[in-house]
Amino acid sequence: MDCLFCKIVAGDIPARKLYEDEHVVAFHDISPAAPVHFLVIPKKHINTLNDLTEDDKALAGHILFTAQRLALEQGCEAGFRVAMNCNPQGGQTVYHIHMHVLGQRQMQWPPG
Ligand code: AMP
Ligand code: ZN
């Protein structure tokens, strides 16, 4: 399968990894939108949030908990933003689900 993030999981494309375990990988975004900007992805390929199933509920929680733990490790005690973009109108460009974690600057609401 021609998926950029599956290639990062496999180690075929380099990434600045922050964390890896059996189920997830976290790495710095190549085009950071904040001083801290990393992505948490499942090792399993899932196209979009719409493709999550009941069987993925523990994995989805693990992604969120990993995001929280790493955000604090990256010094985001003052606050941070998590975001998951779904499909074109949601702003998704890479079709392997990923949670963005942004921090170390003031976030605005609503996002663009
Ligand atoms: P999205 O627009 O929500 O699908 O987010 C995709 C994100 O992946 C963007 O923030 C990109 O900067 C990031 N990205 C694309 N290619 C890479 C890469 N090779 N390594 C790290 N981040 C990447
Ligand atoms: Zn993939």
pLDDT, tens digit, for every residue of 77-101? 999 999 999 999 999 999 999 999 9
Fold of 4-103: HIT family, subunit A (3.30.428)
Instruction: Please give the Cα distance from 25 to 32 (Å, whole number).
Output: 17
Residue 62 in this model has a pLDDT that exceeds 80: yes
Q: Is the pTM of this model over 0.85?
A: yes
What is the arithmetic mean of pLDDT over 48-72? 98
Which residues form the pocket of ligand 1, taking CB atoms under 6 Å from any ligand atom? Answer: 4, 13, 15, 27, 29-31, 85, 91-94
Residue 25 alpha carbon to ligand 2 centre in Å: 12
Write the residue with the smallest CA distance to atom 12 of ligand 1.
Answer: 31
Domain range list for the chain: 4-103
Sheet containing 24-28: order of strands: 17-20, 24-28, 36-42, 99-103, 80-83
